[in-house]
């Protein structure tokens, strides 16, 4: 993984999407998890599971997006070369 992109609002997606590299990962957090209801392309996608559950979205997450625990979050941060936080 080259860059980990953190997206915490649906509106931030517009800025993030064009700058994704195929080797990047995107972690949707907070209100960003609402984006996980659709197929997203351009990178590998994760969505923070507690944020999904809190919002009642568990049954609505698209199959190409992987749920991530807080431990997974830490692992993603450790495994990347840099983190970009997107907020609109």
Partner 1 sequence: MAKRILFLLNRAPYGSSYALEAIESILVAGVFDQEVSVLFTGAGLYQLLSEQDGGAIGGRTVGKMLGALPEYGVTELFACRPSAERLGLTDANLCLPVTWLDYAEQRRLIGRQDVVTG
| Shortest distance in whole angstroms from residue 46 CB to partner 1 | 18
* Residue 25 burial by Cβ neighbours in a 10 Å radius (0-12, 13-18, 19+): buried
Nearest Cα neighbor of 68 from 6, 22, 2, 3 is 6
User: Rounded to whole angstroms, how far apart are CA atoms 74 and 70?
Assistant: 6
Residue 69, interface with partner 1 (CB under 8 A)? no
Residue 2, interface with partner 1 (CB under 8 A)? yes
Give the one residue of 53, 60, 62, 82 binding partner 1; rule: CB under 8 A.
82
Task: Write out the binding residues for partner 1, residues 35-64 only, by CB under 8 A.
Answer: none
Which residues are near partner 1 by CB under 8 A? 2-3, 14-15, 18-21, 82-88
């Amino acid at each position: 993984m080259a860059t980990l992109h953190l997206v915490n609002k649906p509106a931030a997606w517009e800025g993030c999407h064009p700058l994704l590299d195929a080797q990047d990962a995107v972690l949707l957090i907070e209100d960003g998890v609402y984006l996980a209801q659709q197929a997203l392309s351009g990178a590998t996608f994760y969505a923070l599971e507690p944020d999904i559950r809190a919002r009642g979205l568990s049954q609505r997450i698209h199959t190409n997006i992987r749920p991530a625990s807080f431990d997974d979050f830490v692992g993603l941060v450790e495994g990347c070369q840099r983190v970009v936080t997107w907020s609109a």
